[in-house]
Structure 1
Amino acid sequence: MERIRSIRGRCWSPEARAWRLPADERTDAALRRLFPGIVVPPAGTGPDSAAGKTHTETTGPKIVHGAVLQPDGSEILKEMKRAMVLARYSPKTRKVYLGYARRFAEWAEIPLGGAGTEQVRQYLEYLVEERDISRSAHSQAVSALRFLFEKVLRRPQVLREIPRPKRNKSLPAVLSRREVEALLKAVRHPTSRALVMILYSSGVRVGEAVRLRPEDLDPDRGLLRVRGGKGRKDRYTLLSRRAHAAVERHLLFQNVPEGTWLFPGPRARRHLGTRSVQKVVSRAGIRAGIQKRVTPHTLRHSFATQLLESGTDLRYIQELLGHASSRTTEIYTHVSNRDFSRIRNPLDHLEDEEDCMGRVAHCAEKTPVPAEIPCRSIPPRIGYM
């Protein structure tokens, strides 16, 4: 692809899905120099001419003046990566999108430029029915292919009739305060303990936690600065005194130099990986005897839910979590027991009534029944004269 870009006058044709080059001697010389062994037909042998239709070659890519060099899958993927870099997509998003595009090309077994709506639909059906991917993975695959066909291949009509999957309305798992205490007791390593406390006390995402720097902590104000969070947004969230003390112990143990990551990884100038943090939290949950599946995001859910149960306004929780929409934050109203705790369960009413009746019967058995009082005969009154 870089060799084609070095030719003067070249341009990409979305309609033909090919590079168009000028039909002159300079271009012919450049093609022979850049692609040794290629057969360059003379001018006037474009794809619509008789010579262009019957032209074949033995080595190198097909070259005809007017429409040349259909890019292969690798070249298209390079173009896709370049477009995502220029659009400032995150490295994680670029990796996911390129992975889906590459696997689609391998599955389709045809050039990416020749794939259409039917191939995309069959590939998504294969992912859903045979690979049994989740709804979120399904949505990622649609987004990746949409970017490929709209931004790179310039064929937006391919995915125009491809729907996105509906989201699950599942509720997040939340730990109780007792479970959080058990989790903290199960973490002994200073670095791991500081990480778990930061995740729970600040409600940050795991990707935000590993990218923290020492200067992001403001213990005097009790705040933690999150740089470049989801949506490339900065924000402040809470910093607990206990969490800051744990971070200080971690810094003494780790000896982190200034200007680097708060939680450095094994490689120089690299932060700790998110997968390592996930393993630490999951194993701590198992050691603590927690029956629920514990992940870093579980601690984020627990942070938000317990703030809501403590009476914190939903708007403040949205700011702390970095949610763009209040609808995302409102899900915690469905898992909070702030209002449910006021409701008296009808089964408990039945138990109270049974206990009351049992106490009455027990008292009746122990209390002696008084003997019947004998009645004295009363003489009849004598009336006055």
Structure 2
Amino acid sequence: MVVADLVDHYIQTELSDEADWHSHATRIAYSQFLKRWIRPHWGCVGIRDVRTVAVERWLKQLCRVDGERLADATKAKIRNLISVLFNHAIRYEWLEQGRNPITLVRHSAQRKWTPEILEPHEIQNLLLQLSSCFRLMVLLDVTTGLRRSELLALKWSDADFSSLELNVVRSIYLRMIGNCKTEASRKPVPLDAHVAADLWLWKEVSKYSKFDDWIFASPHTQGRLPYWPAILLLKIIQPAALRAGIKKRVGWHTFRHSYSSLLVANGENVKVVQELMRHASSRFTLDVYAQARKREKRHAQQRVVQMIIPENFDDVVPEISLEGARNDAE
């Protein structure tokens, strides 16, 4: 069996519309990686002939169409998908247990840049620059941490105003409706009373307020579909961020990163943050999403310094001087 046969079988059994293991977005991303990167290079190679070092070398030289090196994070996703492919072969007993050659492939998943997070005052300024449902859209996103595919897939039937919860039951990607990203994602999200009140006000004035209507239905499609996220970002949110004086790179995931980082900065329990972010692992929450803000890092450092150097410490020890340094050195 060659890798191309393995790819075909994996697509047929794991990425078809009948398979419900992955969200629609994940199925599209996996299919693109398989067809764009993995199959063209490895398709004719026997599954027993793939070698660890050869995969490492191949990953290092991967480039985009414009000649730029592929981002390490993208290469890491490709590496993980190849590993999934070989686990698929082991599952169907085309390879022996423990014969996954990708297990020992080394590759950095370091990002090209640290994801941006917005400070509370920046979020406030951004909200002031937005109007109508767009302000509510960003407010809801930055106070729930919903993924963009989940935010725009919300229907009025998902909003439980009596219990102040949002039921996350679907996602939308490239206008295709599918499951949420993971099982952990399909959990209710708490809704703050203030945000719920704004949501109710939007329901009162929206043309599309029926039980099965999209909360953020696009008037351009007469409510049949929600707004297109890329256009919202390009024409509404990013220009508003510039008007608000925000120089950071603002994307949909900025709101999710900001939400998790603010939760951590507030000293919330790690398990609570994990549940609110709807992650399967708290380690993933802290490693990927939560960033310590500069102020919190400085205050944390100052608390340690204050433990070591009490207020009257300077009265006890001699002052630092260049002469003293010379004498000690001699």
Query: What is the TM-score with the length of structure 1 in the denominator?
Result: 0.59
Q: 1:225 is matched by which residue type in structure 2?
A: N
Confirm whether residue 236 of structure 1 aligns to residue 188 of structure 2: yes
What are the ranges of 5 or more consecutive residues in structure 2 without an aligned counterpart?
171-179, 306-330
CA distance in 1, matches of 2:229, 2:119: 24
Q: Which moved more, 1:224-233 or 1:152-161?
A: 152-161
CA displacement 1:85-126 (0-9 Å, x = unmatched): 336222222212221221236743x85465852675554232
> 79, 88, 95: which is aligned to 1:142?
79
Q: 2:182 is matched by which residue type in structure 1?
A: G
Q: 1:98 is matched by which residue type in structure 2?
A: S
How far residue 320 of structure 1 moved from its aligned partner, in angstroms, is 0.9
Equivalent position of 1:101 in the other structure: 34
CA displacement 1:139-184 (0-9 Å, x = unmatched): 2212333344553694685744661523338754322221111100
Q: Is the 8 A contact 1:100 1:141 kept in 2?
A: yes
How far residue 250 of structure 1 moved from its aligned partner, in angstroms, is 3.7
Confirm whether residue 81 of structure 1 aligns to residue 11 of structure 2: yes
> 135, 138, 154: which is aligned to 1:193?
135
Equivalent position of 1:260 in the other structure: 213
Structure 1 residues 105-144: aligned runs within 5 Å:
107-108=40-41, 111-112=43-44, 116-117=49-50, 120-121=55-56, 123-127=58-62, 131-144=68-81
Equivalent position of 1:247 in the other structure: 199
CA displacement 1:301-336 (0-9 Å, x = unmatched): 222333344443332222111122222333536337
Equivalent position of 2:156 in the other structure: 214
CA separation of 1:126 and 1:172: change in aligned 2, threshold 3 A: closer
Q: Is the 8 A contact 1:179 1:290 kept in 2?
A: yes
CA displacement 1:219-257 (0-9 Å, x = unmatched): 333332323644223223332334334333443234243
Q: 2:124 is matched by which residue type in structure 1?
A: E
CA separation of 1:105 and 1:175: change in aligned 2, threshold 3 A: closer
CA separation of 1:151 and 1:278: change in aligned 2, threshold 3 A: farther
> 159, 167, 183: which is aligned to 2:126?
183
Deviant stretches of 4+, over 6 Å: none
**Which SS does the other structure have where 1:235 is aligned?**
coil
CA distance in 2, matches of 1:207, 1:176: 24
**Which SS does the other structure have where 2:167 is aligned?**
strand
Q: Look at both structures and tell me which one has the larger radius of gyration over its CA atoms.
A: 1
Q: CA RMSD in A?
A: 3.7
CA separation of 1:155 and 1:283: change in aligned 2, threshold 3 A: farther
What are the ranges of 5 or more consecutive residues in structure 1 without an aligned counterpart?
1-13, 18-70, 347-385
Query: What is the TM-score with the length of structure 2 in the denominator?
Result: 0.67
Q: Is the 8 A contact 2:217 2:226 kept in 1?
A: yes
CA separation of 1:164 and 1:216: change in aligned 2, threshold 3 A: farther
Q: Is the 8 A contact 1:278 1:296 kept in 2?
A: yes
Q: Is the 8 A contact 1:212 1:226 kept in 2?
A: yes
Equivalent position of 1:275 in the other structure: 230
Number of aligned residue pairs:
274
CA distance in 2, matches of 1:333, 1:137: 21
Q: 1:288 is matched by which residue type in structure 2?
A: A
**Which SS does the other structure have where 2:248 is aligned?**
coil
How far residue 273 of structure 1 moved from its aligned partner, in angstroms, is 3.8
Q: Is the 8 A contact 2:118 2:255 kept in 1?
A: yes
CA displacement 1:33-92 (0-9 Å, x = unmatched): xxxxxxxxxxxxxxxxxxxxxxxxxxxxxxxxxxxxxx9x6x876543222233622222
Equivalent position of 2:250 in the other structure: 294
CA distance in 1, matches of 2:22, 2:87: 16
